[in-house]
């Protein structure tokens, strides 16, 4: 690469990007989520999905699940940067453990009549999606699964009258008896 | 409940703040009053244990607290009001974050019920300072205040030190609650910086060091932050191994500049021998430094043949810029102690004679060479003269940012840590003068000199007034070339010598300016007058603005051009127009 004359070394990296799911256990205090999000925007990291909720109210603990992409070096940085934040207890790379389950919930609104309506119901059944609201011209389906499964379901609904989708983002947990 | 009026731990939030400062051994703070901190100022008025230094701008308070912290190893404390008081602190907080300086900032905030209402002098202080502090807090309940203040001091000073901010709404300052002295449980359970290094990694490191043929030790500000023990151990390690040592800008003074194994500073304006040693080494021991881009040059050509050991207390410093072979996470002092112990027990002093011969050849290139003149003062010569005149004195140096800063790093020899205060990471012009104020407050009888540039010094010039008020005899040694010298140098080297807005068109008369503030002004033009003028400056026991008129167009060399490796340095004797043009060949700058 032809370097422009500059005070900085401008590097073009060719390392391929990877996608990782990180579980972060934090003290549930004001600003904790803002810190995490600010870290990602401030240092130019990607957030593909982020979910957060208090998981142990007695101990004021929240669990944040982040799906992010980056080169292996960037992913390692993200984990260290998260880990050094004062309210963060632990950061676990669920992708590296290779023993984690990831789920996402989506509510999918489909509008249509006749054959489309029947087809939507049939596909929902095949995907184990539940009908949680119905009118004579629409359904709202609830579906849980990993991201791929939900994407696939949404793609199938598109020609059948997809109106809108609301997704929770990914939640992840490790297999086996141990906690994080 | 018993009668609480006699409980000495019952007090207002404002009183708790002063009490906590006393409990943490704080004797001096730097601040500026305003509406949202009046209750705290009222408490300060009614006691004498904590001295308050009134600055002229909140940025000055922040940098003064930084100078205080860096020259003592204790946390610096700043007190500012809400809104503009807090936003003016953003620069020093960021500066302290980049350079790992322990700073505790207490800011006033509008009363709790007005937060979010766009009240007078309201801003989202914790939101604005979140990315520029190690941690920050908004205290909404006076009964949380003691715990938060104690935690703030702990977070600022432990692990990798850094700035913290505690935002205290005015109603919380007025409210009465229960104070408690510092105790262990005041700290987040989630915050436990690692101090002790992993024993296996330490053994691996010693094995590499013991078998090194071309070793180098590269130390940084972390050694100084770790405390006097780390400095002692670093010196001992150099002695025991016989290895060459170089330091970053932040690390100067950990190893004495007069020491026989000293290579000088490394990096963009480091010495040729330091950078060549880094480039050609086979084992590199990085202690408390972070492979910053001013150090590495081109990262894919950085010390290509070496095994790298990296000691750092911050895991996020490991493998951030440069992949290392043996990372050791923990406190430098602790780990250096372990390395020394294992090394002494199991290893022999490696034979590095051939390596030193090679280094001697690089050193012979005399990369800090400059041509002296009888007509005009060369900036390098001015620093050397200043260094000679202060030798053996109890001297502290601060700097602004630019050419003068690099020349100071190259030509002023530091024998001890905590003697050199400069804005390294953030590169804050205007740091040096208020930092000198802070250093002088901490060391009233020492000689405190801000090596400054004519452009930088004007950014925080108002703190001369603070120095005069508190009779702080700081010396502002201005290398006046009538340019923003480093900007001009880059414009010359990279932008066709189009000197866009880098000329100081309307400089003040610094002598009259000093006098207007109630200080002393000295001006010198001729090399022959320089030494005498410096002696005069040192002997004056008042704040001095020293206007040292220097060669206007002198460039700072040696230099690693951008996108180049350590072994592609531009040396002063080669820096003719043709070689310079070639070294900097390329398109327009992007950044």
Instruction: With CA atoms as reference, report the closest residue to A68 among A22, A14, A15.
Output: A22
* A31/B190 CB distance under 8 A: no
Could you tell me the mean pLDDT of each successive run of 10 residues in chain B, 591 residues long? 73 98 98 98 98 98 98 98 98 98 98 96 98 98 98 97 98 98 89 94 97 98 97 98 98 97 97 97 98 90 96 95 96 97 94 97 95 96 98 97 98 97 98 98 98 98 98 98 96 92 95 98 98 98 98 94 86 73 54 33
| Interface confidence (ipTM) of the complex | 0.89
Contact residues on chain B for A86, CB-CB shorter than 8 A = 134-135, 155, 188, 190-191
From B265, B486, B559, B569, the catalytic residue: B486
Q: Which residue of chain A comes nearest to B316, CA vs CA?
A: A80
pLDDT in tens, B351-394: 999 999 999 999 999 999 999 999 999 999 999 999 999 999 99
Please name the residues in contact with B243: beta carbons below 8 A apart, sequence gap of 6 or more.
B209, B212, B215, B216, B217, B237, B261, B285, B350, B352
Angstroms from A80 CA to nearest CA on chain B: 5
From B11, B30, B58, B302, the catalytic residue: B58
Angstroms from A71 CA to nearest CA on chain B: 12
Contact residues on chain A for B155, CB-CB shorter than 8 A = 86
For residue B513, give the H/E element and its range: helix B510-517
Size of interface A-B (CB pairs under 8 A): 93
* A5/B588 CB distance under 8 A: yes
CA-CA distance, B302 to B299, in Å (whole number)? 5
The DSSP letter of residue A158 is: G
Angstroms from A135 CA to nearest CA on chain B: 42
* B130/A88 CB distance under 8 A: no
CA-CA distance, B73 to B67, in Å (whole number)? 10
Please name the residues in contact with B331: beta carbons below 8 A apart, sequence gap of 6 or more.
B195, B196, B197, B226, B230, B313
Helices marked H in B418-471: 432-442, 463-469
Does residue B486 carry a catalytic annotation?
Answer: yes
Angstroms from A119 CA to nearest CA on chain B: 50
Does residue B121 carry a catalytic annotation?
Answer: yes
* B293/A87 CB distance under 8 A: no
From B4, B47, B120, B213, the catalytic residue: B120
Q: How far is CA B122 from CA A162, B82, B365, in A?
A: 46, 6, 58
CA-CA distance, A30 to A49, in Å (whole number)? 21
Angstroms from A169 CA to nearest CA on chain B: 25
Residue B207 class from Cβ within 10 Å (0-12 exposed, 13-18 middle, 19+ buried)? middle
* A80/B318 CB distance under 8 A: yes
Chain B interface, Cβ < 8 Å to A = 126-127, 130-131, 134-136, 138, 155, 160, 188-191, 293, 296-300, 314-316, 318-320, 323, 490, 493-495, 562-563, 584-591
Contact residues on chain A for B300, CB-CB shorter than 8 A = 11
Angstroms from B188 CA to nearest CA on chain A: 7
Q: Which residue of chain B comes nearest to A86, CA vs CA?
A: B191
Question: Which of A4, A80, A83 comes nearest B588 by C-beta?
Answer: A4
Residue from B131, B133, B144, B194 to probe the interface with A (highest A Cβ count within 10 Å): B131
CA-CA distance, B237 to B333, in Å (whole number)? 11
Instruction: With CA atoms as reference, report the closest residue to A12 among A58, A71, A60.
Output: A71
* Number of neighbouring beta carbons within 10 Å of residue B500: 9
* B316/A80 CB distance under 8 A: yes
* A42/B315 CB distance under 8 A: no
* Token pair belonging to B582: 């070639």
Residue from A2, A4, A5, A26 to probe the interface with B (highest B Cβ count within 10 Å): A5
Q: Answer for the pair B79, B106: CB distance below 8 angstroms, yes or no.
A: yes
Does residue B120 carry a catalytic annotation?
Answer: yes
From B147, B170, B307, B308, the catalytic residue: B170
Instruction: With CA atoms as reference, report the closest residue to B30 among B363, B460, B337.
Output: B460
Q: How far is CA B462 from the centre of its chain?
A: 21
* A5/B134 CB distance under 8 A: no
pLDDT per residue, tens digit, chain A (180 aa), is 455 566 676 666 668 999 999 999 999 999 999 999 999 999 999 999 999 999 988 889 999 999 999 999 999 999 999 999 999 999 999 999 888 999 999 999 999 999 999 999 999 999 999 999 999 999 999 999 999 999 999 999 999 999 999 999 999 999 999 888
Residue from B124, B169, B190 to probe the interface with A (highest A Cβ count within 10 Å): B190
Q: Which residue of chain B comes nearest to A77, CA vs CA?
A: B316
Strand partners, B177: B11
* B316/A83 CB distance under 8 A: yes
Q: Determine the 3-state secondary structure of B407 from DSSP.
A: helix
Contact residues on chain A for B490, CB-CB shorter than 8 A = 7
The DSSP letter of residue B81 is: -
Q: How far is CA B94 from CA A77, B102, B105, B163, B352, in A?
A: 20, 12, 12, 8, 41
Bond from prior residue into B558 cis (ω within 30 degrees of 0): yes
CA-CA distance, A180 to B65, in Å (whole number)? 41
Q: Determine the 3-state secondary structure of A98 from DSSP.
A: coil
CA-CA distance, B351 to B356, in Å (whole number)? 10
Question: Which of B315, B587, B591 comes nearest A84 by C-beta?
Answer: B315
Write down the pLDDT at residue B213.
Answer: 97
* A89/B490 CB distance under 8 A: no
Question: Which of A5, A76, A86 comes nearest B562 by C-beta?
Answer: A5
Residue from A84, A85, A88, A180 to probe the interface with B (highest B Cβ count within 10 Å): A84
Q: Could you identify the residue written with the tokens 């004579």?
A: A136
* A8/B190 CB distance under 8 A: no
pTM: 0.94
Q: Which residue of chain A comes nearest to B565, CA vs CA?
A: A9
Question: Which of B188, B297, B563 comes nearest A27 by C-beta?
Answer: B188
Contact residues on chain B for A84, CB-CB shorter than 8 A = 160, 314-316
Angstroms from A7 CA to nearest CA on chain B: 6
Residue from B562, B580, B583, B584 to probe the interface with A (highest A Cβ count within 10 Å): B562
* A89/B190 CB distance under 8 A: yes
The DSSP letter of residue B213 is: S
Angstroms from B336 CA to nearest CA on chain A: 23
Chain A interface, Cβ < 8 Å to B = 2-11, 26-27, 30-31, 34-35, 38, 42, 73, 76-77, 80-81, 83-89
């Amino acid at each position: 690469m032809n370097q422009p004359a500059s005070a900085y070394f401008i590097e073009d990296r060719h390392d391929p990007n990877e996608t990782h799911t990180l579980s972060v256990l934090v003290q549930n205090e004001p600003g904790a989520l803002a810190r995490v999000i600010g870290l990602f925007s401030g240092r130019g990291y990607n957030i593909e999905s982020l979910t957060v909720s208090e998981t142990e109210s007695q101990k004021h603990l929240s669990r944040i699940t982040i799906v992010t992409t980056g080169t292996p070096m960037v992913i390692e940085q993200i984990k260290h940067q998260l880990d050094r934040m004062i309210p963060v207890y632990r950061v676990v790379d669920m992708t590296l453990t290779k023993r984690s389950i990831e789920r996402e919930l989506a509510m999918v609104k489909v509008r249509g009549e006749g054959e489309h309506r029947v087809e939507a119901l049939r596909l929902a059944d095949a995907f184990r999606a539940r009908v949680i609201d119905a009118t004579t011209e629409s359904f709202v389906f609830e579906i849980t699964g990993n991201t791929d499964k939900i994407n696939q379901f949404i793609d199938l609904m598109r020609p059948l009258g997809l109106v809108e989708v609301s997704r929770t983002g990914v939640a992840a947990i490790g297999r086996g008896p141990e906690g994080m | 409940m018993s009668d609480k009026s006699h409980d000495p731990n019952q007090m207002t939030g404002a009183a708790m703040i002063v009490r906590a400062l006393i409990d943490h051994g704080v004797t001096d703070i730097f601040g500026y009053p305003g509406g949202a901190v009046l209750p705290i100022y009222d408490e300060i008025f009614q006691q004498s244990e904590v001295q308050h230094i009134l600055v002229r701008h909140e940025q000055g308070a922040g940098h003064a607290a930084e100078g205080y912290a860096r020259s003592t190893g204790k946390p610096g404390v700043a007190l500012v009001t809400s809104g503009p008081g807090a936003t003016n602190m953003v620069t020093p907080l960021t500066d302290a974050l980049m350079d790992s300086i322990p700073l505790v900032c207490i800011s006033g905030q509008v009363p709790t019920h007005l937060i979010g209402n766009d009240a007078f002098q309201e801003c989202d202080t914790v939101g604005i300072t979140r990315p520029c502090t190690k941690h920050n807090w908004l205290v909404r309940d006076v009964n949380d205040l003691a715990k938060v203040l104690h935690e703030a001091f702990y977070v600022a000073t432990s692990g990798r030190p850094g700035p913290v901010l505690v935002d205290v709404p005015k109603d919380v300052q007025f409210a009465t609650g229960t104070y408690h002295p510092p105790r262990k449980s005041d700290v987040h359970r989630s915050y436990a910086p690692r101090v002790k290094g992993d024993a296996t990694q330490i053994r691996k490191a010693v094995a590499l060091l013991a078998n090194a043929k071309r070793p180098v030790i590269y130390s940084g500000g972390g050694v100084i932050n770790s405390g006097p023990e780390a400095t002692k151990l670093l010196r001992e390690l150099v002695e025991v191994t016989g290895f060459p040592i170089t330091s970053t800008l932040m690390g100067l003074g950990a190893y004495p500049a007069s020491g026989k194994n000293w290579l000088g500073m490394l990096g963009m304006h480091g010495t040729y021998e330091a950078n060549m040693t880094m480039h050609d080494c086979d084992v590199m021991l990085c202690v408390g430094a972070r492979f910053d881009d001013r150090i590495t040059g081109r990262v894919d050509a950085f010390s290509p043949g070496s095994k790298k050991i990296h000691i750092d207390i911050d895991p996020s410093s490991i493998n951030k810029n440069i992949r290392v072979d043996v990372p050791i996470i923990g406190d430098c002092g602790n780990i250096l102690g372990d390395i020394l112990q294992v090394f002494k027990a199991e290893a022999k002093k490696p034979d590095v004679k051939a390596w030193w011969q090679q280094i001697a050849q690089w050193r012979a290139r005399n990369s800090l060479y400059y041509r002296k003149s009888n007509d005009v003062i060369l900036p390098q010569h001015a620093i050397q003269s200043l260094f000679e005149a202060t030798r053996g004195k109890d001297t502290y140096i601060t700097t602004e940012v630019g050419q003068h800063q690099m020349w100071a790093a190259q030509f002023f020899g530091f024998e001890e840590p905590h003697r050199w205060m400069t804005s390294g990471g953030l590169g804050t012009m205007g740091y040096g003068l208020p930092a000198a104020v802070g250093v002088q407050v901490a060391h009233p009888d020492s000689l405190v000199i801000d090596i400054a540039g004519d452009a930088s010094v004007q950014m925080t010039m108002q703190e001369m007034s603070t120095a005069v008020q508190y009779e702080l005899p700081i010396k502002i040694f201005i290398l006046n070339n009538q340019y923003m010298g480093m900007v001009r140098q880059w414009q010359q080297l990279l932008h066709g010598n189009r000197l866009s807005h880098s000329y100081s068109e309307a400089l003040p008369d610094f002598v009259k300016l000093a006098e207007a503030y109630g200080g002393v002004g000295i001006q010198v033009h001729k090399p022959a007058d320089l030494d005498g003028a410096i002696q005069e400056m040192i002997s004056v026991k008042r704040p001095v603005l020293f206007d040292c008129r220097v060669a206007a167009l002198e460039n700072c060399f040696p230099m690693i051009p951008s996108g180049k490796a350590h072994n592609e340095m531009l040396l002063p004797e080669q820096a003719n127009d043709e070689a310079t043009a070639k070294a900097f060949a390329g398109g327009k700058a992007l950044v």
